Structure 1
Amino acid sequence: MGGRSYAIAGGKGGVGKTTTAVNVAAALGASGRSVGLVDADLAMPNLGAVLGVEADATLHDVLAGAADLEAALARDDGLVVVPGDPRLDRYRQADPAKLGEVIQRLATAVDVVLVDTGAGLTHESLVPFGTCDAVVLVTTPDRAAVDDAAKTCEMVGEVDGAVAGVVATRADEAGAERVEADVPAPLLSRVPDDPEVAGDEPVVETAPDSAVADAYRDLAEALVPRPDGGRAGAATVSDG
């Protein structure tokens, strides 16, 4: 039986999709669950740089048919990362249609797969919407960001996907209420704005006692309730 898979999405850039993916992955990993993290922002991938990991190949190589998925797996403290390649020529060669197969194969090896998608409603973002078990929308309370999240929510339905809910980032209670009112999805978590704990590294590790870390841990539990026991050992991706 495969693990759950979630696309982390939101129409507008800069709302915290990657930060959400990284922190949820770290929170799940700390609680004993095995996690796969895919950098599906094909135009501007940055997960490898954020986490400081490298693999023999990248997601772009896999999508171009130049490498097998196993070669593109970077392991970091129990986290299995499929990093991307930011070079423009690699973007041109990558076939987004193969993203679904990557997600499905990785899900056979871990408890949960988190897919960090790019901004906007592009073909490469629509593939995870329809492939993953559900989509987690991420938005700030900013009007434009909320409108884009609502549009993304509608588009998920167009590709027969499911929306797990929405995360309001950099939001006070009033901001979270605006997000909940305008995005037709359950509010999964409110992540407060705290510049003192901002940064690329997972807040759940660098500032574990902060309200921001608490919000991401709550989100992780909402998405993947704690099992009796996680999968042990290194992830091995099946061939089909």
Structure 2
Amino acid sequence: MYRLFRIIQRDTINLLTNPMWIFFSLMFPFLLVAILGFLTEGLYGKYFTSYDYYGVTLMLFSTMYAATFSANSFMEEKIKKANLRIVYSPIRNWFIPFSKVVATFIFTTLFYTIAAVICHLLFQIRFGDEKLVQIWALFSGMNLLFSCIGVLMCCIFKSEGVANQIISILTAALAMLSGFLFPVANLGETFVKISNWLPTAKVAQTIFEMIYDQNASNFSSMFILLLICSLLILVIATILFNGEEYV
């Protein structure tokens, strides 16, 4: 386990020392909330503002981009070269994909949390005072799920470029159908029915229920679902991972 800890530590440091990734993880959610919140400000009321809506949905949308971070930290060329020694050292095969997931989760959770705090202070976004810890847990669960998805895409397609293309399409489609960019009702009844089956949409609905209705009845089931899906995807990724193909 000491070797696994050291690999996770190294992968986390690699992420924390990349200024572009830090900038993106902080500014991407902040700018999305600021721009869309401002542009649609007149379409919402005073109690439930555009910033309240996009503060939740766009932070969830940002957590989906954890898949991009994990894919980049897994198969970016300079990182692959640095990990040659790890691949051929006497360690368990699953250490590498597992480490990428954990390091990405730590990195993105840290900076997305900071971005959410900044948005709250600047735009008075409601993240649920009494249910704040539970809401943060759901955001973190989404973050973990997509951290696992990014690694899985790399294990399936064995290419950072292809993995990121698939991830971009997946995140855009899920964001649109989940109502993260605009209310899904605008797309028609068929898309509403599709949205009702999506876990991402259900997470957003659960968060809004906790903030405005003080209803946390769906929290446990959604949080457990996110953890189970993350675990299953991570197990599949570790099974598919082949160190020789990685290099």
TM-score with structure 1 setting the length: 0.29
> As a proportion of its length, which structure holds more strand?
1
Larger Rg: 2
